[in-house]
Structure 1
Amino acid sequence: MKKPKIIGLTGSIGMGKSTVAAMFAEAGIPVFDADAEVRVMQGPGGELLPAIEAAFPGSTGPQGVDRDRLGHQVFADKAALARLEAIVHPAVGARRAAFLAAHADKPAVVFDIPLLFERGGHEAVDAIVVVSAPHHEQRARVLARPGMSAEKLEHILSLQTPDAEKRERAHHVIDTGTSLAETRAQVSALIAELLAPDAGTGS
């Protein structure tokens, strides 16, 4: 049986990846949102709470993971972050496999994965789509978020593959430094290209 084409969607913080993912979904392409799955598994009654609490005491409560408390325990501590990822990533992988099985009859699916390159996920997709915008626009978007600081932004960026490298390694780049209508047009054109008979990964 023919499998769906797997589109790996990624982009650094503040690049508009969530907006582009929503456009794919609106066009009828099923989207697996890795971050959203993590939020559910770390939310009230989430399946990951016992393991996270055991590894990071005091980081969970009735509402699930306390992001501030957990953040204080892993921020700028690579060993702690690795321990957290060892809990989260296998669970996300299992959910992703179930998602793929549920949509096995679709022509294409999107894996929305922020750390696609950093975690080697790019090797498991058929086409890599990177969402990008000019650096000044990225910075302005992120610093406008509640609780964000220049220091936090720099730390987050230090953990991510640089945007220029992502663009270089992508099969396709969606530029969100334009209007929403122009971005949507780029997404529509890309979907048509990716779903064309005998379409490859692109240039």
Structure 2
Amino acid sequence: MIVLGLTGSIGMGKSTVAQMFRDEGVPVFDADACVHELQGPDGRLVAAIETAFPGTTDSGGVNRAALGRAVLGDDSAMRRLEAIVHPAVQTERAAFLARHAASPLVVVDVPLLFETGGDKAVDKTLVVSAERAVQEARVLARPGMTKAKFAAILGRQMPDAEKRARADHVIATDIPLAETKAAVQRLIACMRGDEGR
């Protein structure tokens, strides 16, 4: 099995590319979706997050807006949150890899792959990238997003140029969707070929 770590800064099209892998039959572990489940109604991290950050949960689980206000811009608070969330995500990822042990290729979609040292736990890395103007337009079109919030998120992420320099593979997402899809298909064919050697 080849484990491909998929990453990219906010608004770079990572979710779209992850879906392209799924459409080609490649199992994808989505770290963000895992976090949503762990923090959702009856999620197993809700109590620990409420203890660490009182008033950030309700009947729907973690109130992401309230939690965001509690941790964004506060490195110490962010580290406390990460100490709760990251080990739980690692456990879920290990279970995913065990379930798909017979697959020649799996993708782990992790937004902060390089920032958290997660690139050391995968065989190859893929960064999705777009021009800054395209990225900004995508992000600012999201409900509730502001320039200040966008800047705070970017501040926690490694610069796109550095991610691209560290990646084994880079796929552009500011080109026609069909071209991005073709690049994904070529990469899958290449990696499945590598695995067979």
- What TM-score does the superposition give when structure 1 sets the normalisation length? 0.95
The alpha carbon displacement at 1:197 in A equals: 3.9
Please tell me whether residue 150 in structure 1 is matched to residue 172 in structure 2.
Answer: no
Equivalent AA in structure 1 for residue 121 of structure 2 = A
SS of equivalent to 1:195: helix
Partner residue in 2 for 1:122: 119
Partner residue in 1 for 2:4: 7
Contact kept, 8 Å, 2:2 with 2:195, in 1: the verdict is no
The alpha carbon displacement at 1:192 in A equals: 0.5
Equivalent AA in structure 1 for residue 104 of structure 2 = P
Contact kept, 8 Å, 2:2 with 2:104, in 1: the verdict is yes
Q: 1:173 to 1:125 in 2, by over 3 A?
A: same
Aligned pair count? 197
* Equivalence map 1:1-203=2 (5 Å): 4-197=1-194
The alpha carbon displacement at 1:70 in A equals: 1.1
Query: Equivalents in 2 of 1:199, 1:10: separation in Å?
Result: 25
Query: Equivalents in 2 of 1:147, 1:20: separation in Å?
Result: 24
Return 5+ residue gaps in structure 2 as ranges.
none
The alpha carbon displacement at 1:139 in A equals: 0.5
Return 5+ residue gaps in structure 1 as ranges.
none
- What TM-score does the superposition give when structure 2 sets the normalisation length? 0.98
Task: Give percent identity, aligned residues only.
Answer: 59
- Deviation by residue 1:49-76 (Cα, 9 ceiling, x = unmatched): 1100100111111101011111111111
Query: Equivalents in 1 of 2:54, 2:68: separation in Å?
Result: 12
Q: 1:198 to 1:43 in 2, by over 3 A?
A: closer
Structure 1 residue ranges, 4+ long, deviating more than 3 angstroms after superposition: 197-200
Q: 1:198 to 1:30 in 2, by over 3 A?
A: closer
Equivalent AA in structure 2 for residue 156 of structure 1 = I
Query: Equivalents in 1 of 2:168, 2:67: separation in Å?
Result: 36
Query: Equivalents in 2 of 1:125, 1:71: separation in Å?
Result: 29
Query: Equivalents in 1 of 2:194, 2:10: separation in Å?
Result: 33
Equivalent AA in structure 2 for residue 160 of structure 1 = Q
Contact kept, 8 Å, 1:193 with 1:199, in 2: the verdict is no
> After the TM superposition, which of the residue ranges 6-15 and 70-79 deviates more from structure 2?
70-79
Give RMSD over aligned pairs.
1.1
- Deviation by residue 1:9-38 (Cα, 9 ceiling, x = unmatched): 000000000000000011011000000000
Equivalent AA in structure 2 for residue 10 of structure 1 = T
Q: 1:197 to 1:119 in 2, by over 3 A?
A: closer
